[in-house]
């Protein structure tokens, strides 16, 4: 249970949309700015592959052969790699915004924090994907092989002619797997039908197979993508609490500034909180020094009787 907002309180789209746009722009720009030299990226890729071979977890080799030998598997996998990452994730985010407002803030923060952590990984560890290694390593780029069936070229999932707009050495971690895991949790946790929950399990598993079979990621890239989402999950709630504290302090500071402002006096009239109150006190003090005169009432029989006896 990760609900963070009161029931019935809906987030505002005019604040959410710019926030998401800014984070995604930072992520996209960061991927381009941190494009390192090719040689370190190739060395990192070979190191990962050697580590997998040591522990016999280089599952990407047999999967890549399966995808390249059977177009009925390889072509749908290429379409899935090139599109679902950018379609299903924002669709589920919009769905959560509309249908799960109490959980939306957490889900959005989880996705954004994990994405930024992934950007740190691209920066610190530029990694050459299997498809860009020397052919002697035994990998075939299925997206280049089946490029005539889709809109992509030989530069990852970028459309033809736009390969320069992407960083091809951002294999570690795999955010294709990370975002798919986020989608799976949303479907499993909030899906109301058995089909939705089944899709929540099948989708991240299928994307994991796709990224390895198309030679876009190593198995350890997929593991790192899942780990990044785990860290983002743990950091999302503290990040929301910190944002709430900052927002509360700013609100209190604004209210304090309003309370400290001088009273607005109009037309030369003084308010009861102004100088009028001291004037009334001075008038009351002056009246205390005036001797009181005895009151002669018309109907006071004792006073009238005393006056008659004196006469």
Task: Convert the pLDDT of each residue in 192-206 to its tens digit.
Answer: 999 999 999 999 999
For the segment 146-165, the average pLDDT, to the nearest whole number, is 68
Tell me whether residue 130 is in a domain.
yes
Q: What is the pLDDT of residue 298?
A: 41
pLDDT digits (tens, 9 = 90+) for 47-84: 999 999 999 999 999 999 999 999 999 999 999 999 99
Tell me whether residue 213 is in a domain.
yes
pLDDT: which is higher, 182 or 25: 182
For the segment 160-174, the average pLDDT, to the nearest whole number, is 73
pLDDT: which is higher, 290 or 19: 19
* Most confident of the ranges 166-175, 223-232, 260-269: 223-232
Q: Domain limits at 199? A: 38-248
Tell me how many helices (H) and strands (E) the chain has. 11, 0
CB-facing half-sphere around the CA of 57: CA atoms within 13 A: 10
For the segment 293-298, the average pLDDT, to the nearest whole number, is 45
Tell me whether residue 286 is in a domain.
no
Distance CA 239, CA 107 (A): 12
Distance CA 165, CA 34 (A): 13
Q: Determine how many CB atoms are found less than 10 A away from the CB of residue 246.
A: 10
Q: What is the pLDDT of residue 32?
A: 62
Query: Among 127, 131, 147, 152, which residue's Cα sits nearest to residue 36?
Result: 127
Tell me whether residue 71 is in a domain.
yes
Tell me whether residue 73 is in a domain.
yes
Confidence (pTM): 0.75
In order of 112, 123, 147, 176, the CA distances from 82 in angstroms are: 21, 23, 11, 10
Distance CA 31, CA 170 (A): 7
Please count the structural domains in the chain: 1
């Amino acid at each position: 249970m990760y609900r963070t907002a009161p029931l019935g309180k809906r987030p505002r789209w005019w604040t959410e949309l710019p926030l998401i746009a800014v984070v995604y722009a930072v992520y996209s720009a960061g991927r381009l700015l941190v494009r390192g030299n090719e040689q370190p990226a190739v060395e990192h890729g070979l190191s990962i592959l050697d580590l997998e071979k040591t522990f016999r977890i280089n599952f990407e080799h047999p999967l890549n052969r399966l995808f390249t030998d059977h177009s009925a598997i390889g072509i749908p996998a290429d379409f899935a790699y090139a599109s679902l990452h950018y379609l299903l994730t924002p669709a589920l985010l919009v769905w959560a915004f509309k249908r799960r407002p109490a959980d939306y803030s957490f889900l959005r923060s989880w996705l954004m924090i994990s994405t930024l952590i992934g950007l740190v990984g691209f920066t610190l560890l530029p990694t050459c994907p299997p498809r860009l290694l020397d052919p002697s390593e035994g990998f075939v780029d299925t997206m280049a092989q089946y490029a005539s069936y889709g809109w992509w070229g030989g530069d990852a999932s970028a459309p033809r002619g736009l390969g320069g707009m992407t960083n091809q050495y951002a294999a570690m971690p795999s955010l294709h797997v990370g975002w798919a895991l986020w989608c799976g949790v949303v479907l499993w946790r909030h899906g109301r039908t058995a089909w939705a929950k089944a899709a929540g399990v099948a989708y991240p598993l299928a994307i994991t197979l796709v990224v390895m079979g198309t030679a876009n990621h190593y198995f350890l890239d997929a593991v790192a993508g899942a780990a990044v989402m785990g860290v983002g999950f743990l950091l999302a709630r503290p990040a929301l609490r910190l944002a709430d504290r900052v927002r509360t302090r700013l609100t209190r500071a604004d209210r304090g500034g309003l309370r400290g402002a001088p009273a607005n006096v109009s037309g030369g009239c003084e308010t009861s909180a102004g100088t009028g109150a001291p004037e009334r006190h001075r008038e009351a003090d002056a009246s205390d020094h005036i001797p009181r005169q005895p009151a002669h009432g018309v109907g006071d029989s004792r006073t009238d009787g005393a006056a008659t006896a004196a006469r």
